[in-house]
Structure 1
Amino acid sequence: MAMLGGAVAIITSAGASGRVGMTASAVCSVTDAPPTLLVCINRNAWTHGQFVDNGVLCVNVLGADQAALSGRFANREITMPQRFLSHGWSELATGAPALDGALVNFDCRIVTSHDVGSHTVFYGEVLAIRHGEKRGGLVWFNRDYHQLAPVIPLQP
């Protein structure tokens, strides 16, 4: 699976079980009508139950310059409150933290989920989208970060 690359995102949630965030690359578009994403989270992850209880999530897609932030949200040594201190956050429709400066934020209500092997697949209906500055993306491939160059528009 390490050879299957994916965009890097910080998945956040907030609600009755508190504010939570984690790094993930198992994120995928499902449909555009209604706009729906899927996010896979290991059931053994210490954040898993909070996503279930809160019923909302925000997919914050990271830019090429945000690998350190990804590492911060993947590090079990860093507490949840500490994870959220280094960057600006706001809220869109659901109340889940939306990263200021992400390439894009997809704010979702979890509409269904199911377990597959070691993970839960969460399906989130997108309630709000916020676009950030256009720049290169961040990809996780072969157990390392890779930067995607910004898109250069073709001249007519």
Structure 2
Amino acid sequence: MSQHVTAASSAPAPHLGAPDHRFASSLSAAEFKAVFRGHPGGVAVITADAGDGPVALTATSVASVSAEPPLLIFSVSALSSASDVLSRAETVVVHLLDAHDLEIAQLGATSGVDRFAETHRWSRLVTGEPVYNDVRAWVRCAVIGRMDAGGSTVIAAHALQAQLERDVAAGEHGDALVYHNRTWHRLGDHSRLV
């Protein structure tokens, strides 16, 4: 598996950000952001260490792709302070958060801070990756592919190991944390429609 990961991470990434002249027009950045402000996203924090020290960022772009094999994707802006490390890391830890993890989500979203200064909040797995303690769930993944897309990189990862601290039964809300219209929200019975 590690040979496959190394080969995938060292290969040049396909690029989807070049202008496509087949389309006569395109949404402006402001229009695109306005459309997605009303589309809530689940909140995750991604951590990695490519040998230079740990990095973390908050993301709402995490999505499951396949259960067999267990694959997920997420995107990282080139402007993120974590983008360099995530472009080289062979493994990552994806923390899937709930409302009890709001401080971790805010920490990963705050620019210019040491996200690992509070040593009681995190530890390292035996495999070396940084992991935040007591979050709802985390998944350790091998990076299997990267693709440039505009000013971001889409990263595909194969789930290797997981820990679930707070399980959510089917049909239950579980205090889910979502980001919607530039604010944090907790889903609960009050937000259930049917």
TM-score by structure 2 length? 0.70
Query: How many residues are treated as equivalent by the alignment?
Result: 148
Give the structure with the higher percent helix: 2
- In structure 2, C-alpha distance between the alignment counterparts of 1:56 and 1:2, rounded to whole Å: 30
Q: Which has the larger radius of gyration?
A: 2
1:1-156 pair list within 5 angstroms = 1-82=36-117, 84-85=118-119, 87-91=121-125, 94-134=127-167, 135-149=174-188
- In structure 2, C-alpha distance between the alignment counterparts of 1:77 and 1:43, rounded to whole Å: 16
TM-score by structure 1 length? 0.86
Write the deviation string for residues 87-142 of structure 1: whole angstroms up to 9, x where unpaired: 143416x5322222221111101000101111100001000011112341110011
Deviation at 1:33, TM superposition (A): 1.3
- Contact 2:101 2:136 (C-alpha < 8 Å) held by counterparts: no
- Contact 1:137 1:147 (C-alpha < 8 Å) held by counterparts: yes
Give the structure with the higher percent strand: 1
Corresponding letter in the other structure for 2:157: G
- In structure 2, C-alpha distance between the alignment counterparts of 1:61 and 1:18, rounded to whole Å: 22
Consecutive unaligned residues in structure 2, runs of 5 or more: 1-35, 168-173, 190-194
User: What is the Cα-based RMSD across aligned positions, in Å?
Assistant: 1.8
- In structure 2, C-alpha distance between the alignment counterparts of 1:97 and 1:145, rounded to whole Å: 24
Q: Alignment partner of 1:65: what SS?
A: helix
Consecutive unaligned residues in structure 1, runs of 5 or more: 151-156
